[in-house]
Structure 1
């Protein structure tokens, strides 16, 4: 069911964006043309427009988690995070679309969903004026313009746009793992990896499919899952034009075209066609296993290994024989099968 298309009548006086609804214009101003935030956090430098926002933020640095879940005893530093977490236990989807009836766990999910009906795209790129319906897509696009990387790693020559990114990267070489799991002995080099790992213990699955209701602990797994509904194959080979549903399969395919292997591992002298392949290979030597199966908690060194493993749970078989139509969960299985036809 589609909303009757009306003329966009709410214009932003600060830029050229126009909207169907006044609320969309208000959100646009807050997110894109927000007033200068003058109150800084003395710990990390983040700035806030209101004093109470700074006080709430400070709980993160002090490690205080005053908000406790009565069901599983997990604690949170922010009340809204507790409310969001509790809905995972109750299954409550309090935010319902008035147009199509779909319900969502969070108001932000409903807000983004409504734009599929209204066509609103409140996020405008200041560089090229491209417009986007959600902030993650907008943020991803803006990184296209921020290509200058001034901070260089003296060990492997990788470059980064910010010094903070370089500091995180250096932990690969130093082996530093400052983020420790409070449930087990595992430690991680990045806070994001710890948060992802913690969901194994808590059972949190905050990412839900709007089509079938399936929930996932990882946003990347949800994106891959959604393509089983849309049949989307957004990753295309620049050499032969073959298309794939996930980037790991494209990378694997690209190696069939890459003859020269100029990136050498300093530990075992294995050679690779790209620096990214070498970085993935280095996980074998460092022992890092950053990717966990949300079903059985088995750890993997690479995202592609995890994606392969997940198919043993989902039953997905994306590799099909063009001769007899047989389908397989792994490309290696298809190759072995294909050899039987020869």
Structure 2
């Protein structure tokens, strides 16, 4: 039996694809131009092809004519059913040539490949930031729109992203759902647990290109880089002091507000940051583990020991910007600065 084949006379100049029929050729061109003339009147979604709009309409109508023979779940299209069946069969037809990872879905495979290639196809027209994943791009765009539909009922905080909102709520409830199997420490977020696990493994994958230092997290590396650049991008709007990280600025602001959210359960003393509370707790029976090799004095913390060692070395790190006097500790500098303040007050009274 003879079969006739129609010549593919319509060729796409963009990608080289060829078509026998002009209608198919025109339909294909829309994939390059981004034109989506078929719009859903119910939700506003638009589509390149009419048949995709019809499939979409079934979602609104609740029509799911394709049932799964294994679990009974029903789906609006045969294609979605075929993808679902892979959850039962374990089929993973998409394999990464770089690391060998396999995936059930092409979309997950493409996302994974970008980890190796570094490709960031999603670009922000406002600030130029680029992203590997559409979900991250959409989250970022909300930072420009100012849209924050997720409001905390316990404080005035608002969030554009539901994940960040849920994380925030845990800071009020104290819920720590991520637990370390080695030491029992628990964390609010999974990424905090992963960073913590590197303390056990000793893994420091983030290396500084300027010196030999390496760090367990990218944020630690970023903070470290400021020591090379001297950059202090976070400024205090009250006194114009600047800081390398937002967290240090936040602690600094408490010197203006007087806020002391960290309190001692033993004596009730309150502190502006957690590190000072930890130091204080050592005074309630903490062992003096840090010893001076020069004179044998013992100290509760390594910071106290370092300050003490300057007495032996003669190092005076803290300088007065008014008269150039130098001091061993920041506390001594603060005391000294009061002498300038007092002189200024007396001169103003004359």
Instruction: Using structure 2 for the length normalisation, give the TM-score.
Output: 0.42
Work out which of the two has the higher radius of gyration on C-alpha atoms and give 1 or 2: 2
Instruction: Using structure 1 for the length normalisation, give the TM-score.
Output: 0.43
